[in-house]
Amino acid sequence: MGAEFVLVYRLSMLDLVPDGSTYDEVVELGRRIETAGADIINTGIGWHEARVPTIATSVPRGAYTWITQRLKKELTVPLVAVNRINTPEVAERIIAEGQADMVSLARPMLADAAFVAKAEAGRAEEINTCIGCNQACLDHTFNLKITSCLVNPRACHETELVLSPTRTRRNVAVVGAGPAGLAFSVSAAEVGHTVTLFDAASRIGGQLNMARRVPGKEEFDETLRYFRVQLDKHGVDVRLDTTVTAADLDGYDEVVIATGVTPRTPAIPGADHPSVVSYVDVLRGGAEVGERVAIIGAGGIGFDVAEFLTDGGEGASQDPETFFRQWGVDTEYRERGGLGTAQRTAPPRTVHLLQRKTSKVGKGLGKTTGWIHRLELRHRGVEMVAGVDYRRIDDEGLHVTVDGEERVLAVDTVVLCAGQDPRRDLADELTAAGRAVHLIGGADVAAELDAKRAIKQGTELAAAL
């Protein structure tokens, strides 16, 4: 290959599986690789079989650099740090503190191909940050779909989803500043349209403002920061605290409705009982929730609410030491694979997570992250039950039938996560008046809280307009 060819070897430094390599074995292998002529050694963390999260959002940023730093004392070849390094600031700190000689970024380049150029130019605030969700990259790959990115649907589709300068500048009104409305507004303004974005709330984000409160999903803060910067950069007229009527939209060439969803109330006797609250009340309204809880609906929202209510203040924003203690990672590397004993504090609530479907609870979660959510709730003692028939809610609690057996869950609070309906009041009013409208996001399809679909749909409409 010639003397100038750079050979990089990826070494599993922390297997995170039973009977994995010892630290001494990792060092010996690293030295032999170095002697054999590798120019750089890249860090490998965990195998696919590992039951410890390594790259998901719930992993603290740069959490695994400790093993690279430790190996630097044993080897002379340059070492590369990996995993959950998603901002220039994190990368800079790792190198400045001598934890590694280089850093490796993969998913952040899907989120923003100009990551390095923006960092070099001092425009880090303009970077579309990887949130570690895996929903459109790894989940797509393992489902034999083309890879993309939740926050950047143009990733790997650059020749198909093209944002070209418009030939016909339009005056566009967008109602709803959730992920769909934000993605459309930024992209439409970028190609040259004049965009006015309305929202009744006092800040942008829509349902993302609920998602960001769930432990392990705080990275949505970065998505909202990115959109705020882009709205300003592209001159979008943002009007918050503004409730829009059909008459307010006269004079616009195009109207985009991104008004989101409304929670669905299931037809259960007693659904109006004082103990019943919606997931919106919990995640956004700060509703008071008792120590014994039943959650009706075990989709993505149900899991989010269960994690929110059982978190003891040690969520994804925790320091790495707490994360490793919870998941049983031994940073002293005393045992094979670096595995220790998981230690967790008792959850603040007892929670039942229920669904009507007889399929496995959590079956619809992400292929590469669903196991993390299911395992996390099991660690917290959450009872996950499928095939539930809801009979009624009263002062005794939630009356259900499971496998033909009647049960009464003596709970203080029942949280409804039983689906959503599109919020189309304004769209229906405009259509009835003969106005053409574009429906995107939850206002179009209210299936779960799907930020991936919403951002993609908003970007696609902007490209087509």
Residue-wise pLDDT for 370-414, tens only, equals 999 999 999 999 999 999 999 999 999 999 999 999 999 999 999
pLDDT tens digits, one per residue of 66-103: 999 999 999 999 999 999 999 999 999 999 999 999 99
Half-sphere exposure for 396 (CA within 13 Å, toward CB): 8
Return the CATH number of 265-312+347-418, one of 3.90.1720.10, 3.30.43.10, 3.50.50.60, 3.10.20.30.
3.50.50.60
Band of pLDDT at residue 444, cut at 50, 70 and 90: very high
Nearest to 227 by CA among 173, 190, 280: 190
User: What is the model's pLDDT at position 258?
Assistant: 97
Band of pLDDT at residue 1, cut at 50, 70 and 90: confident
- Please give the model's pTM, rounded to 2 decimal places: 0.94
**Which residues pair with residue 398 across a beta bridge?**
393, 409
> Interhelix angle for 179-191 vs 451-464, to 10°?
30
Residue 436 has pLDDT above 50, yes or no: yes
Using only C-alpha atoms, the chain has a radius of gyration, in whole angstroms, of 25
> Any idea what DSSP says for residue 247?
G
> Any idea what DSSP says for residue 223?
H
The pLDDT > 90 percentage for the chain reads 93
Whether residue 20 contacts residue 51, with contact meaning beta carbons closer than 8 Å, is answered with: no
DSSP reduced 3-state for 24: helix
What is the C-alpha separation between 441 and 464, in angstroms, rounded? 16
Mean pLDDT of 158-163: 96
| Residue located via tokens 């599109």 | 422
User: What is the model's pLDDT at position 450?
Assistant: 87
pLDDT tens digits, one per residue of 250-288: 999 999 999 999 999 999 999 999 999 999 999 987 899
Sign of CA pseudo-dihedral 145, 146, 149, 153: negative
Residue-range domain boundaries for the chain:
8-126, 163-262+421-464, 265-312+347-418
User: What is the model's pLDDT at position 319?
Assistant: 84
The mean pLDDT value of the chain amounts to: 95
Q: Does domain 8-126 match CATH 3.40.50.12600?
A: yes
Matching fold, domains 8-126 and 163-262+421-464: yes
Q: From residue 89, how far is each of 60, 67, 70, 230, 318 by CA, in Å?
A: 14, 20, 21, 20, 18
pLDDT tens digits, one per residue of 180-233: 999 999 999 999 999 999 999 999 999 999 999 998 888 999 999 999 999 999
Q: Indicate the pairing of strand 397-402 with strand 405-409.
A: antiparallel
User: What is the model's pLDDT at position 316?
Assistant: 45
Residue 53 has pLDDT above 60, yes or no: yes
User: What is the model's pLDDT at position 189?
Assistant: 98
Q: What class does CATH assign to 163-262+421-464?
A: alpha beta
| Residue located via tokens 């750089």 | 40
User: What is the model's pLDDT at position 314?
Assistant: 54
Mean pLDDT of 339-345: 92
Nearest to 260 by CA among 416, 418, 420, 136: 420
Band of pLDDT at residue 317, cut at 50, 70 and 90: low
